[in-house]
Amino acid sequence: MLITNTENVDKPELKIVASKEGTLAFLSGSVDIDSSPAVRNQLLVLVRSADPKFVSVDLSAVTHLDSSAVATLIEALRVARSSKTELRLRGLQGRLLRLFELTGLLPLFNGSI
């Protein structure tokens, strides 16, 4: 995707790759109060339909997460668990890793980094 509008440079994008082992979702950009509802909708569809029952969300290309984005990930985890789907986070580094460690949320996502 070629972006020519500088306003959308940090707009979040979710790319999905499915394999026999599970589904990998690559999230990139800035996820905040304005963009988290769209990310939420995509993640909820993904965890409800995951087959096999494993979804890993790679956050290595995320530039910013606010509290609404964290709430979105927690809701996706809740829905995944009710759907008997394992949801893991990967690619956490720097500030994002520290955020999940300090809030005690990292173990909820199987301690994945």
Mean pLDDT of 45-65: 89
What's the pLDDT band for 6 if we cut at 50, 70, 90?
A: very low
CATH fold for domain 13-109: Transcription Regulator spoIIAA (3.30.750)
Q: Provide the angle, in degrees to the nearest 10, between the axes of the packed helices 36-48 and 67-82.
A: 10
Cα–Cα distance measured from residue 42 to residue 13, given in angstroms and rounded to the nearest whole number: 10
Mean pLDDT of 91-96: 94
Across all residues in the chain, what is the average pLDDT?
Answer: 87
| pLDDT at residue 9, as a whole number | 53
Residue owning tokens 């939420």: 40
